[in-house]
Amino acid sequence: MSTDGELEVVGRPLPRVDAVARVTGTARYADDLQLPRMLHARILRSPHPHARILSVDTAAARRIPGVKAVLTGMDLPIRYGIMPVSQDERALEFEKVRFVGDPVAAVAAVDEETAAAALDAIRVSYEPLQPVMSIEEALRDPVDEPIHDPALTRQRGNVHRLVSYEFGDVEAGFAAADHVREDLFFYQGNTHLPMEQHSALATYEDGRLTLWSSTQVVHYVHRALAKVLELPMHRIRVIGAAHGGGFGGKTDPFSHEIVVAKLAMVTGRPVRCTLTREEVFYAHRGRHPVLIWMRTGVTREGRITAMHVRTALDGGAYGSYGPATVFYTGTLQTVTYAIPAYKFEGVRLFTNKAPCGPKRGHGTPQGRFAIELHLEKIARELGLDPVELRRRNYVRPFTRAVNWLRVTSCGLEECTEKVLQASGYRGRPRRPGHGMGFAASAYMSGAGTPIYWNDMPHSEVQLKLDRTGVTAYCGAMDIGQGSDTVLATVVAEELGLRPADVRLVTADTDATPVDLGSYSSRVTFMAGNAALEAARRMRRLLVEAVAEATGVQGDLDEIEVREGRVGEVSFEQACQLATTRFGALSTSGSYRPPRIAGPFKGSGVGPSPAYSYTACVVDLDADARTGLIRVNKVWIAHDVGRAINPLAVKGQVEGSVYMALGEALMEEQVYRKGRHKWPSMLEYKSPTVLEMPEIETFLVETVDPEGPYGAKEAGQGPLLPVIPAINAAVFDALGIWIDETPITPEKVLRALDARARGQEARYGPRRFPDVDYGAPIRVDPPDPHDLRVGEELERAFAAAGR
Amino acid sequence: MLNELQRPVHREVLLLRVNGEEHQVLVPVHATLLEVLREQLGLTGTKHGCELGECGTCTVLVDGRPQLSCLLLPVQLEGHEITTVEGLGSPAHLHPLQQAFLELGAVQCGYCTPGMLLAAKALLDRNPKPGRRQIEEALAGNLCRCTGYATIVDAVELAARRMGA
Ligand code: FES
Ligand code: FES
């Protein structure tokens, strides 16, 4: 960066720093790693959706030549789980199984075939229990027994979590409305389908365990291993291998990671386990199926006076991130639209299916789908332009929402304007079967509070500089989104280098300080800020050493650090001078979000240091004869704050649009008779290149005051508006509402058929079940212009007796 | 109980030509080319996403034609020329396709990339000036979950232009 603040590498569309390794096949992913004497592990999984385990007989398996170890649940009895409030999984279960695919036993053998044969030789006897396969079933009294012990969940039956909040006076808000509307929506579950199957390799040497894994968060795997294996954290090292795609699906600690670690300890040999594609479907942690009821009051002009949202989530067999997911189905509505009074009730239920968790957008696509279609319907009912109605309710930058979420920079207006202009949405020509739809959304740049309570930084970066150059160390994991490139770019910008000049060590718990990992769109914002702080400190030291050695007097800020030079000397010389002056240098930087959460229990889910904003328009043709939908084009504008690397940001936006199209039109994780219907890539339909429409992307830069160089997230937010925009366009084309995902040809035809028979021109859920959400926690709304954070905010709470 | 491992596994010694090099390997007759490339020859650039012929990730070239290595048996491949991503270019001498993928951001996680590159190479060898639709058809069997495909198609177009120039 020059002394006048002009950016040199930030904002340039440079290739990713690891691109050469990834195009030449030299990047080493977890399953590519081999060590001498390595054994292969396989995991035996339950064929029953719900059953008690009566016995596990491994004697025959152990006798097979080449089998080196067999584990059962008794070897790994300690429960774990990603959320401290939901420690409900075991690496291998020994009491009962809760879904088809639940792990029961594991084998390490000289090769995969021997391991597979050993699995066949293990005899498990089960006592099947009545499976619970839907939200409705989960709300009834269990036929046999609840899926989890109510003593652990502290809830009735198969309820996992309940939340209930009222912000402001909702009744008064509805009373003030000219018009009130209710709608029901269903968002089907779907899965990440990363191209890389999960894989992990462990060794145990000199009393120390090393695990290479395809995880998105080395730190969480580290914590889970320490807990289950009862080892101190300093005797465990977790390294993120080159990553073949996560999208949230590799964010939990997994059974196979713990199993290979234990097997390495038992056998004294390296052990690797790579899941089959079928097992990847069981590992899941994907999108929750969610039933949503929404009621909104508006004035004649379309201004929202109150909103009431109820959600019911089908969580699958385990907790995973579910306690957060249930919040996310409701909390972020208020950072897109100014809702003066808001009631939100949510329930997450256990069912005997593969566990749901965080998938790109984590819990928010479902709520976004519902609110956008709901507002679309309200606008059409009132005879208002659907875009105009939204605009009248858009949140303003630098305000605080009714549920205390703090909004800083907000480019909703600019994003909306861009896509309207480019798409010609307003003056669109009408022809049969053709439609266009609009939607807007918001997403977090990282969660404002950590998933396990602590006051430590969310991200830390160390820089080392010696006579050979500079190295950055950070626990962040590049899952393909380009986080390594962001780190290198930030450091390069501050030190006057090119990103490729910065050596990186990332995602290695021995070498790198903690970063909370690649999820919740947090890395650019948080690790970026940590890197910025570390790099500015290093720059200062370099400048000092150079000034001293070259006899420069006066203001050190006047010394230019750019284009490979520090003042009058080259960067290499500067490194030597700095090492001469100080010895090898290290600096560190860290990032902790400001305290922004409101003064109520449960306020920790939803706050983010900054929200990204997106608007999109979809153009499609829908065939009333076949029910087929062909998306022609998507215009999408994303407020990314600042694009540190526009090439990477555009890649995230386009990838999000692609994933949204899959969810909207074809992807669904469905079950039949207790089993996953399609645990294969052939039958779980996802878009190929032939299904992809043209995408026109606009990046809006609002330069957030707290983001690194103003940057916000880009990896998840752009998925959100695309799905409801498609449904809105289908209505525009055919005059039917498809109030659930995915929009299959069958649903289109059924809605058309219903209309032909004089019924409601709609396909979607008909009933929201009775749920006892309990009395809501009532919260007084904040002053929307009170932007105080941190201690100042807390002092204000204390003074108000909150 | 007699398990399948107590039955003798039939193995054969084969001479495989991969990326212009001869390799003598001893393989079980039921081992797939994917397994032999990755586990025996250390050519881990070839990836896998299903091992069932569904995703295209494991694409290699056999005599210049794109094939799914997870469905091929090496016993059928003696005398044929196999090309993997390692044979396409090296870090010092990138193939124009690799260069274009890198420049245009057609690589995110990179896991689908080797298969995409080889499917694209087969196309360009056959048809040096493909239209966009032809590129899409040639890549339709290769799934990518990261990019949304547009940059990949752009990269193939760019490489074709440069190779024709
Ligand atoms: S690994 Fe999926 S097609 Fe071969
Ligand atoms: S780049 Fe990740 S699957 Fe294609």
Within 8 A of A196 by CB-CB distance, chain B residues are 47, 49, 109, 111
Q: Is residue A146 part of a domain?
A: no
Q: Evaluate if residue A141 carries a pLDDT over 90.
A: yes
pLDDT at B2 (0 to 100): 44
Residues B57-64 have a mean pLDDT of 98
Give yes or no for a contact between A300 and A382, defined as CB atoms under 8 angstroms apart: yes
- What distance, in Å, lies between the first and last C-alpha atoms of chain A? 45
Provide the 10 A C-beta neighbour count for residue A573.
Answer: 16
Instruction: Find all residues with CB under 8 Å of B34, minimum gap 6, and list them.
Output: B46, B48, B51, B58, B69, B70, B72
Pair (A568, A431) in one structural domain: no
Nearest to B111 among A244, A681, A695 (CB): A244
A197 chain-B contacts, CB cut-off 8 A? 48-49
- Residue A245 near residue A191 (C-beta atoms within 8 A): no
Q: Which of B48, B73, B111 is the best mutation target for the ligand 1 pocket, counting ligand atoms within 8 Å of the beta carbon and taking the most?
A: B48
Contact state of A196 with B137 under an 8 Å Cβ cutoff = no
A490 within a domain of the structure (yes/no): yes
**What's the number of CA atoms in the CB half-sphere (13 Å) around residue A25?**
28
B40: closest chain A residue by CA = A34
Average pLDDT value for residue range B44-68: 98
| CA angle, A123 then A127 then A129, to 5° | 135
User: A480 in the Ramachandran plot: left (φ > 0), alpha (ψ -120 to 50) or beta?
Assistant: left
Q: Are A101 and A125 in a shared domain?
A: yes
Predicted pLDDT at B7:
61
Tokens of B26: 């001893």
Q: Are residues A365 and A507 in the same domain?
A: no
- pLDDT band for position A567 (50/70/90)? very high
Q: What's the structural domain count of chain A?
A: 3
- Percent of chain A's residues with pLDDT above 90: 95
A580 interfaces chain B, CB cutoff of 8 Å: no
Query: Each residue of A518-549: pLDDT tens digit?
Result: 999 999 999 999 999 999 999 999 999 999 99
A363-372 pLDDT, tens per residue? 999 999 999 9
The verdict on a CB contact (< 8 Å) between A689 and B51 is no
Average model confidence (pLDDT) for chain A?
Answer: 96
Name which of A192-201, A461-470, B3-12 the model is least confident about: B3-12
Distance (Å) from the alpha carbon of A693 to chain B's nearest alpha carbon: 9
Predicted confidence (pLDDT) at residue A491 exceeds the cutoff of 50: yes
Same domain membership, residue A320 and residue A221: no
Nearest CA to ligand 2 atom 2: B109
pLDDT tens by residue, A62-120 = 999 999 999 999 999 999 999 999 999 999 999 999 999 999 999 999 999 999 999 99
Nearest to B3 among A121, A242, A655 (CB): A121
Give the separation between CA A54 and CA A105, rounded to whole angstroms: 14
- Does A689 sit within 8 Å of B152, measured CB to CB? yes
Each residue's pLDDT tens digit, B130-157: 999 999 999 999 999 999 999 999 999 9
Q: Are residues A480 and A557 in the same domain?
A: yes
Residue A107 pairs in a beta bridge with A42, A70
Structural domain of residue A569, as residue ranges? Answer: 456-591
Of A728, A754, A780, the residue at which a domain comes to its end is A754
B124 alpha carbon to ligand 2 midpoint, in Å?
21
Q: How far is the CA of A507 from the centre of ligand 2 (A)?
A: 20
- Report d(CA B23, CA A655) in Å as an integer: 39
Nearest partner of A28 among A243, A298, A296, judged by Cα: A243
- With contacts defined as CB-CB under 8 Å, which chain A residues touch B55? 195, 681
Task: Report the residue of chain B nearest A195, measured CA to CA.
Answer: B49
DSSP bridge pairs for A696: A635
Say what the pLDDT of residue A611 is: 98
CA distance, residue A375 to nearest chain B CA (Å): 29
Contact criterion met (CB below 8 Å) for A23 and B102:
yes
- Chain B residues touching residue A195 (CB < 8 angstroms): 47, 49, 55, 57, 109, 111-112, 143-146
DSSP for B80-130 reads: SEEE-GGGT--SSS--HHHHHHHHHT--SS-SSHHHHHHHHHHHHHH-SS-
Listed residues A715, A734, A754: the one ending a domain: A754
Q: Inspect the interface and report whether the beta carbons of B148 and A695 lie closer than 8 Å.
A: yes
What chain B holds in terms of domains, given with CATH numbers, is 11-87 (3.10.20.30), 96-164 (1.10.150.120)
Q: Retrieve residue A33's tokens.
A: 């790693």
Q: What is the pLDDT of residue B1?
A: 40
Which residues share a beta bridge with A675? A672
Residue A792: inside a domain: no
A193: which chain B residues are within 8 Å (Cβ-Cβ)? 145
Q: ipTM above 0.90?
A: yes
Lowest mean pLDDT among A94-108, A139-153, A208-222: A139-153
Mean pLDDT value across residues A741-764: 98
Q: Considering A538, A567, A591, which residue would you say is the last residue of a domain?
A: A591
Q: According to DSSP H, which parts of A681-743 are helical?
A: 722-734
Nearest residue of B to residue A279 by CA position?
B50
Q: Does B29 touch chain A (CB under 8 A)?
A: no
Task: Decide if A138 is inside a domain.
Answer: no
Mutate one of A23, A272, A695 to test the B interface: name it (highest B CB count within 10 A).
A23
pLDDT of residue B6: 55
User: Does a structural domain hold residue A62?
Assistant: yes
Flag whether A255 is in a domain.
yes
Q: Report pLDDT digits (tens) over A625-639.
A: 999 999 999 999 999
Dist. CA B67–CA B33, nearest whole Å = 10
Q: Do B113 and A23 touch (CB under 8 A)?
A: yes
Kind plus residue range of the DSSP H or E element containing A636: strand A629-639
Residues of B in contact with A692 (CB under 8 A): 148-150
Q: What percent of chain A has pLDDT over 70?
A: 99
Query: From ligand 2's centre to the CA of A241, what distance in Å?
Result: 15
pLDDT at B5 > cutoff 60: no
A610 and A585 inside one domain: no
In a domain, A31, yes or no: no
**pLDDT of B82-121, one tens digit each?**
999 999 999 999 999 999 999 999 999 999 999 999 999 9
pTM: 0.97
Statement to judge: residues A114 and A239 lie in one domain: yes
CATH code: domain of residue A102:
3.90.1170.50
CA dihedral (A326, A329, A335, A338) in degrees, to 10, reads -110
Residue A175, phi-psi category: left (phi > 0), alpha (psi -120 to 50), beta (remainder)? alpha
Same domain, A299 and A266: no
Q: A116 and A260 in one domain?
A: yes
Confidence of residue A4 (pLDDT cuts 50, 70, 90): confident
How big is the CA angle at A55 (ends A49 and A59), to the nearest 5 degrees? 120
CA distance B87 to A540: 46
Report the amino acid identity of residue A758: G
Ligand 2 contacts CB of residue B142 (under 6 A): no
Q: Which pLDDT does position A434 carry in this prediction? A: 97
Residue to mutate (ligand 1; options B68, B118, B139; most atoms within 8 A of CB): B68
Distance of CA A382 to the CA centre of its chain: 36
How buried is A756 (Cβ within 10 angstroms: 0-12 exposed, 13-18 middle, 19+ buried)? exposed
Could you tell me if the CB of B48 is within 6 A of ligand 1? yes
Q: What is the pLDDT of residue A588?
A: 98
User: Quick one: A499 and A587 in the same domain?
Assistant: yes
Which residue among B5, B84, B89 places its CB closest to the CB of A64?
A: B5
Same-domain pairing of A461 and A476: yes
Q: How far apart are CA A239 and CA A219, in angstroms?
A: 9
The token pair at A256 is 């196979």
Question: Which CATH number does the domain housing residue A520 bear?
Answer: 3.30.365.10
- Are A382 and A496 part of one and the same domain? no
Q: Are A509 and A475 in contact (CB under 8 A)?
A: yes
Q: Is A117 part of a structural domain of the chain? A: yes
